[in-house]
Amino acid sequence: MTPTTGTYAVKLTVLAIGALLLFAPFLFQDVRSLEVAARICIFIVLVASYDLLIGYTGIVSFAHTMFFGFGAYGAAILLKSMGPGWTPVILGGIAGVAVSLVMAVAIGLLSLRVKAIFFAMITLAAASVVLVLTSQLSQLTGGEDGITYRAPDLFKPATKILTDADGKVLRLWGVAFNGKLAAYYFVFVTSLILFLLMLRFTASPLGTVLKAIRENEARAEAIGYRVVAYRTFVFCLSATFASIAGTIYAVWLKYTGPDTSLSFAIMIDILLMVVIGGMGTMWGAVIGAVLLILAQYYLRDLMGAASEALHGIPVLPELLAADRWLFWLGIIFILLVYFFPKGIAGTAMAGGARR
């Protein structure tokens, strides 16, 4: 496709988001902002890996948080039992990926041949079983309470990454070069690498085959592509990325529980992000993840402020009360889907003058 002006606009926006995330610890110097920035990094990977399925290949799965959870719990369980260190992180990550691959191959081979709707149901069933098991096997998983543990020493807030002449932690523009900063850049760099890898895959010959399967499965088969093999492979690939993202998030949060890594609320967030950003484009994952997470964290505050500002005027402060933020998020979502049917990135890239 020839690039459109919309394509350039989307790519510039994504670059700007990348730059903001790169300098986030220096630009937004409070704990909550850094929390949001790290969550955005992780969810970009998570949403992009889901888009490999739903947007590129046309596979609908509801088991994406299950794979995210395998990666998170793998690291969490080992960090808890072995104590902080890199070995449990790496072993936990590998274990998470291994379990994810076994599940993905099993689900894939059993059911990728059946109709899309049955496949979606089977993934839903598998994810529900894993969620129930997690809350039941509390010896291993901590049940509903989850697991709290310590991250590798490098990421302890007291760790001094760089020191000045007096042996105190070095500060640059007021930002201490401590373990917290190291942890953020661990999240940022690994997420960036994972995202760039996916960008690479989607632009490759493999990526074109995935799109062909989405567009016309029967014809892709007729010109010589083993469709079931490709679908199973992309399901495994997507599961692997989700699992690694889960491990990174577990290291960052130092806590893993059903609500942070397994719940269907997260699955719905992923779906919303893919739809808002635009399916079938990696850029859409970035835009969708950023918008929804910002809304989830700041819409409430923003509305609270607006409600305060409008104090004294009838109805309006009531309508904008902070507690109604979900209501407004819903309205914004409906408007977005109405005006950007292909998602923000998708609609922007399709529009704009063709050059």
Binding footprint of other proteins on the chain (CB under 8 A): 1-2, 200-201, 203-209, 211-212, 215-216, 218-227, 230
Q: Which single residue is written with the structure tokens 């005006």?
A: 339
**Contact by Cβ (8 Å): 10, 290:** no
Torsion of CA 323, 328, 329, 333, to 10 degrees: 170
Quote the least distance from Cβ 286 to other proteins, whole Å.
19
* Alpha helix ranges (H) inside 83-170: 86-111, 116-136, 138-141
322 CB neighbour count, 10 Å cutoff: 15
Helix (H, G, I), strand (E, B) or coil at 300: helix
**Contact by Cβ (8 Å): 70, 127:** no
Quote the least distance from Cβ 200 to other proteins, whole Å.
6
Cα separations in angstroms, 140 against 57, 73, 85, 96, 257: 35, 9, 19, 14, 12
Quote the least distance from Cβ 338 to other proteins, whole Å.
22
Taking the least distance from each CB to other proteins, the nearer of 202 and 247 is 202
Taking the least distance from each CB to other proteins, the nearer of 27 and 60 is 60
**Contact by Cβ (8 Å): 143, 135:** yes
Taking the least distance from each CB to other proteins, the nearer of 2 and 139 is 2
Quote the least distance from Cβ 282 to other proteins, whole Å.
13
Taking the least distance from each CB to other proteins, the nearer of 81 and 204 is 204
Quote the least distance from Cβ 50 to other proteins, whole Å.
18
Quote the least distance from Cβ 218 to other proteins, whole Å.
7
Taking the least distance from each CB to other proteins, the nearer of 203 and 334 is 203
Taking the least distance from each CB to other proteins, the nearer of 11 and 254 is 11
Length of the chain in residues, anyone?
355
